[in-house]
Structure 1
Amino acid sequence: MSKIQVNKLHTLTGHNDCIYALTEGSDPRFFYTGAGDGMVVEWDLDHPKDGKLIAKLPHSVYALVVDRERNLLVIGHNFEGIHVIDLNENKEIWSLKLTDQAIFDLKVFGTELFVGTGDGVLIIVDMLEKSIKKHIKLSSKSIRVIAVAPIKRQLALGLSDHSIKVLDLANESQPIANLSGHSNSVFALGYSPDEKTLISGARDAHLKFWNTINYSLEENIVAHMYAINYLSYREDGKYLATCSMDKSIKIWDVENRKLLKVIDKARNAGHGTSINKVLWSSYSGNIVSVSDDRTISIWQLETDNK
């Protein structure tokens, strides 16, 4: 088993409330955070201490996504809709009133933006037309997380009704798979880079590995003490990071489905409260985590077999 050394490089402060949203920029040297204080901040991994305020909104921000093709940052503004920031100019260029619900996740594929809402509606927005294309009612419970498989052209959604629904992007109206097995809300979801595996994590603290050929369950691991809030793959798909309400980050060997490392307060001066999002940077290979404790941590991981 590979040995992993962890070094905490930075603790970044500036938000005045729990940090809920985290996404990588078109230029992965930059990443963006959004919080309960309505602030959206840009951070530079080369100069991490200098956060730059991008937007200040009246309600919490749970979701952010970068439209890499057009270099736009889309902000999910709770109880309102979306705000779109041109990252070349660092200014808002348009917004759209979408919902009076919370917006829990956003994903972009091609010219479409997928918006997961608190009332179980998937809203599809045309990024070129700046208009709503479609509403798809999937559940009476919240859509908490969205994952895109660009090669398979499929969309997986984790819901608070404990299910994972998979849609075909050629025809989104009817799920092609409805995965059950979690006993609570599904918060974490991600396709492996080769799209052969879909991994889910939930409030039940279980991590599940699904084979995407027929969406059969291959493995179930009791992975954390409390809810798994998010997951992020290393760019090569070899390792996976999960973060939890139990205040820890765990590093997993994806192929062997084995726990390799625990990063927490006792061992590594980690976060003091729930860790809400984790991002494995494709720029630096470091891990970025955000927490209810209002801080951002940057972690350097060294493995003996890279």
Structure 2
Amino acid sequence: MSKIQVNKLHTLTGHNDCIYALAEGSDPRFFYTGAGDGMVVEWDLDEPEDGRLIARLPHSVYALAVDRERNQLIVGHNFEGIHVIDLVENKEIWSLKLTDQAIFDIQVFGSDILIGTGDGVLIVVDTVDQFVKKHVKLSSKSIRVMAIATEQKHLALGLSDHTIKILDLKDDFQPIASLSGHTNSVFALGYSPDETCLVSGSRDAHLKFWDTRDYTLTEDVVAHMYAINFLSFKEDGSLLATCSMDKSIKVWDVADRKLLKVIDKARNAGHGTSINKVLWSSYSGDVVSVSDDRTISIWQIEAETL
């Protein structure tokens, strides 16, 4: 068990609408945000006050993903498709019109871009030849979030039909499991760094821990007052950060499944409205959070072992 000390390092402004998307760069010193204002901004953790606009789109941006191998940023452009930006040249190099639906999440696996849409379709795009390889219809409800176990080659998808689908990336997206237990939309998913555990969070405010050997439920925690919007593991897998519509960030001990710290407005001058994403930086070890209040916060989180 650890004792957590929290220090708010920075509050960053510049977006003119709710911030929905957050992604770490291929150089993790940088991170990217996307918002309801259609702006995509690059931030430098060494000089965080100076954000750099790298794209401006006519619709909201809910999803961003970084292709680390090619140093490209994939932007999900709601009701349109994807835009791919070269992060060296800082310019768009290609785009694809894919859907008239919202794009809620994007993941990159090898040369595939995986896109989760508002009509429950997983769209697989070949990033080298820039064409749609596959449509996988999973539900009539939205795909809200995805997570990849890189070694096991499993893709987990959280849906608005309250389920989590597990697909096999080695076997052409064949189904492995369908997990039920949440009573509302699944917004948050993450594999632990050692891939032994999948953690899910939902609009039902529950945090669930699943054993990835057979995807059995091992723990169910009532974690927040309202919807859990996202989660992020610390790089060593010891701690987990969750964020919620209840305006708080919570830090959890992964091994013990115990709450260690609540970060909120009253205690820590936290966000004033729903917190949409958190990112545990692999560069600084700090936690980055983005909110409906149009701000980005950077938190220094230090654990002392008791």
Q: Shorter-normalised TM-score: what interval?
A: over 0.9
Partner of 2:146: 146
| Structure-2 separation of matches of 1:262 and 1:159 | 27
Partner of 1:276: 276
Partner of 1:292: 292
Partner of 1:14: 14
| 1:140-197 Cα distance to aligned partner (Å, 9 max, x none) | 0000000000100110000000000000012244321000000000000000011000
Following superposition, the deviation at residue 2 of structure 1 comes to: 1.3
Deviates further, 172-181 or 256-265: 172-181
Partner of 2:243: 243
Partner of 2:36: 36
TM-score (norm 1): 0.99
| Structure-1 separation of matches of 2:120 and 2:304 | 44
Partner of 2:25: 25
Partner of 1:109: 109
| 1:72-109 Cα distance to aligned partner (Å, 9 max, x none) | 00000000000000000000000000100000000001
| Structure-1 separation of matches of 2:135 and 2:36 | 26
Gaps of 5+ in 2: none
| Structure-2 separation of matches of 1:184 and 1:303 | 33
| Structure-2 separation of matches of 1:304 and 1:119 | 45
| 1:242-294 Cα distance to aligned partner (Å, 9 max, x none) | 00000000000001100000000000000000000000000000000000000
| Structure-2 separation of matches of 1:69 and 1:85 | 13
Following superposition, the deviation at residue 63 of structure 1 comes to: 0.2
Partner of 2:67: 67
Partner of 2:217: 217
Deviates further, 110-119 or 296-305: 296-305
Letter in 2 for 1:145: V
May I ask how many residue pairs the two structures share in their alignment? 306
Partner of 1:76: 76
Partner of 1:267: 267
| Structure-2 separation of matches of 1:196 and 1:207 | 16
Matches within 5 A, 1:120-199: 120-199=120-199
1:56 aligns with 2:56: yes
Gaps of 5+ in 1: none
Letter in 1 for 2:187: F
| Structure-1 separation of matches of 2:150 and 2:169 | 9
| 1:185-214 Cα distance to aligned partner (Å, 9 max, x none) | 000000001100000000000000000000
| 1:41-87 Cα distance to aligned partner (Å, 9 max, x none) | 00000000000001000000000000000000000000000000000
Deviates further, 207-216 or 168-177: 168-177
Would the alpha carbon gap of residues 27 and 173 (structure 1) be closer, same or farther in structure 2, given more than 3 Å must change? Answer: closer
Report % sequence identity: 78
Partner of 1:303: 303
| Structure-1 separation of matches of 2:259 and 2:121 | 35
TM-score (norm 2): 0.99
Q: Counterpart of 2:305 in 1: which secondary structure?
A: coil
Following superposition, the deviation at residue 304 of structure 1 comes to: 1.3
Letter in 1 for 2:145: V
CA RMSD of aligned residues (A): 0.8
Letter in 2 for 1:134: K
Letter in 1 for 2:17: D
| Structure-2 separation of matches of 1:173 and 1:68 | 22
| Structure-2 separation of matches of 1:96 and 1:60 | 16
| Structure-2 separation of matches of 1:172 and 1:157 | 15
